[in-house]
Amino acid sequence: MTETRESNYAGVFDGTIGFGERPAIIVIDFIRAYTTKGSPFYAEGVVSAVAESVELLKTARTAGVPVIYTKVLYHPTGRDGGLFVKKVPVLRTLVEGEPLAEIDDSIPPEPDDLVIAKNYPSCFFGTSLIGTLTAERIDTLVLIGCSTSGCVRATAIDGLQHGFRVIVPRECAGDRHEGPHDANLFDINAKYGDVVSKAEVIARFNAISRNAA
């Protein structure tokens, strides 16, 4: 009988971290490039994840949970993208003024939300994110966004390495193909954080609202 990945990981890579006391949502690269048909980055899995995230973001804001967006943005020369834009040249199209580089219209940032521009997969690399989270005494990162196999995974790893609890609501992460998406959710849950249902995260946020009332 062929061993399943779940049975192979059992007892070694099946622990949980759970929520801490002060969560924040990181909305990773939910930009129009991934949700606009005809774009080289277009991914139906991301379109679905964006739609699933509307309710989650509304609940977070009601609970007073900080929301931080990231988007990919480069200098017209692409020099600030280093070898990443050499590996993926189409990234160089994401420059200031390019409509596809903007946050998807269905989940726009609100006045109190931060929007951080980044040049590499991890939201931590070369950005002010760690300083902001530390100053606000955040201990839990709820990661939503795309792509699951790229920037979500990279941020989950760095989040753990910086000492944050990492939570990924599975419905709110998206990728170009189900294979990499599923494999990376499995790996994140095994090693770097907890992959849970959107309903579980919403229930946690609702509890924060009740406790604050």
Please give the positions annotated as active site: 151
Per DSSP, the three-state class of 186 is helix
> Helix 153-161 to helix 178-191 angle, to the nearest 10 degrees?
10
Phi, psi for 167 (deg, rounded to 5) = -125, 130
Backbone angles phi and psi of 189, in degrees to 5: -65, -30
Torsion, Cα 138 140 143 149, to 10 degrees, reads 120
DSSP 98: -
The position carrying tokens 């609100």 is 110
Q: What are phi and psi of 186, to 5 degrees?
A: -60, -45
3-state secondary structure of 41: coil
